[in-house]
Chains A and B, each alone.
Chain A
Amino acid sequence: MNLVFSILMLIILILIPVIGVGALGLNSLFAIFIPYLGFALFFFGLIYRMIDWARSPQPFKIPTTCGQQKSLSWIKRSRLESPATTWEVYLRMFFEVFLFRSLFRNLRADFDGKRLIYGSAKWLWLGAILFHVSFLIILIRHLRFFVYPVPGVITTIDFVDSFFQLGLPPIYLTDALILAGLGFLLLRRLIDAKVNYLSYASDYFPLLLIITIAATGILMRLYIKPDLYAIKQLAYGLATFNPVMPEGKLSLLFYIHLFLVSSLAAYFPFSKLVHMVGVFFSPTRNMANDNRMKRHVNPWDYPVKYTTYCDWQEKFRDVMEEAGIPIDDEWCKETQKQA
């Protein structure tokens, strides 16, 4: 049901440019206005989300300590898992964000008769890494459409990515890998009973959307080749805020690709995909475990009423005297004076 709903949403999204461009001829709306709109939503949406999170204070210092704290000098501590300095926090975050360290730790728990056993479970980590890294490289590769002259870095990435000459024109390694990663993530949602049970349409939809974007891109590269010169003209115009409709013809497939990318950009900040920037804000990971070393301030902290020593002593004076526990009237006088 969730999957069907997601596929339906996707078909609607594909039909919009098909009708808009193919039937109604609204070419510049789809080539210029919608991409701008999509990326404006992406950009300002993300900024809005970040400001929104930053506006709420993090009242307590709550790092999850997955390794030995800094304590006695001779005890080996874990700088990555229990960072005590800002530099170590950066390191921890680097490994989290770029190598998915926590996910790498993943385990699978299962019954072996009456015994619980734990096995390594790195498939999710692998699928996620494949997808995210490929996505990043593909994004960087795409910059060659937007800048002129194309910087050496991008040409090099492009070269390496297409190094394995599988057919002509060379297929990109990352194109294959991103589909493998996404395919795995999608299959996992469908096949693993637990994950399937907790998945919503809003979990399938972004996967399907990105798969379709990748697929349309690959199609354009391998089979239905568009007018590259026209695309570069359009892209360069968009990137320099001097949009022009190119002289050559942009294929319908290209319009679909571009519209889906714009939709993804617009959808991004308002969906679970914001984890991309959210991960940097995660207090259990981005705070140092220096809790007893450095004071953390909670801006909304307020004094609370508690049972003071004097109230307490009054209550138990008799039994304390009888038991020979010292009575401290001096302190009560002192605190009364202060109050």
Chain B
Amino acid sequence: MSQVKQIKVNAIKNGTVIDHITAGKIRKVLDILHLEGNEVVMVGMNLFSNKIGRKDIVKIENKELSEFEVNSIALIAPEATLIIIKDFEVAKKAHLQLPEHIEDIINCPNPKCITNSEPIISKFKLTDDQTSQVRCLYCEKKYLIDEVKIKK
């Protein structure tokens, strides 16, 4: 067992670990997590990873992620691993996947898009391009995932 795994498994009794976050994306991940301010949160940045080179990691005690939070993190850090810890043991481990359909997670950056003037659930779809891009299903504009803002 690697040092990182020992830390994440042993350090919290119950909660969630998000591992293999691409280095540099931790701030965006923390923005997505609806933290109250009183949780125990441990953050590692630029740690060595056999799998992805450099990685960020976050451990949050006594928190289970909502579906919205999981989908949002999958969008900005699709290579991340989600680990649920129960009583110091790994209860569940899942590799996040970039969802093909993205509903109610992103705000469309196009100010002329109808989703920015009417109360509409935003809908995006991954494009077939090699780079990670999404297309708004309303205004049909295409954006790099790094350009879009996740809803609060």
Task: Decide whether A and B assemble into one complex.
Answer: no
The interface of chain B, by Cβ under 8 A from chain A, is none
